[in-house]
Structure 1
């Protein structure tokens, strides 16, 4: 139900909640490899690829040149990706307010506490 609230709010921008979360993490921690992004977002490789492909296809995320290992290609936001984050921020905030009103302050705080205690990588 919570995901649906965020997905509905972000639909006009052409992204879903999982994709928006990836954009935020790339903005905050990028440039970073797919593996590092997957660890931060608790996504397995196939889920990450499925959510990342549309972001690259839309020109919101770009993969850089291979790193020292010759394999990893750092992900970063493009100018268009940064503009999308800026434009969709109010929709995300509205979804957060709606979710918090449904959960109540105690429920919302409990979810935040649980999320804060998750390990960086769940096997």
Structure 2
């Protein structure tokens, strides 16, 4: 069966999820390219950054702050722990583990922060202040939906 060519592309309603995922992939590729000098991806940098500012974190607190599922978080934590950037210590109960940056992790975070700031500024310059502000507002509004969307 051939597709119906009578419908113009302009009349097709854009999918919000698809458009945001496309934009996210482009941003991720840009950040990942600049983070590659440090041997990490922006998703791993986000974990290092979160733990750096929190001082320590549990998997659950990271899931909440970063809005990640356990599988995705675990996949991103493994290389950081394996390579000695994070250490895992027992928490209040046996199921809980507390994550902290090692000295190597702190040093990696500081080095990667320079690349992150450079990329961040480049994107701000390319998008302009108005679009950056709108992007942050839209992002916040969508993240706020997480509890009502379930």
TM-score, length of structure 2 as denominator length = 0.75
Alignment gaps of 5+ in structure 1: none
Return the match for 2:33 from 4, 8, 18: 8
Report deviation, 1:90.
Answer: 1.4
Higher radius of gyration, 1 or 2: 2
Q: Which has the higher contact order (CA 8 A, sep 6+)?
A: 1
Alignment gaps of 5+ in structure 2: 1-25
**Secondary structure of 2:144's aligned partner:** coil
Residues 1:121 and 1:31: Cα distance change in structure 2 (over 3 Å): farther
Matched, 1:23 2:48: yes
Q: 1:14-69 CA distances to partner (integer Å, 9 max, x unpaired)? A: 1111100000001111312101111100000100011111111110011112x222
User: What is the match of residue 72 of structure 2?
Assistant: 47
- Mapped to 1, the partners of 2:55 and 2:104 lie a distance apart of 15
- Mapped to 2, the partners of 1:7 and 1:63 lie a distance apart of 25
TM-score, length of structure 1 as denominator length = 0.90
Aligned-residue Cα RMSD (Å) equals 1.7
- Mapped to 2, the partners of 1:121 and 1:22 lie a distance apart of 20
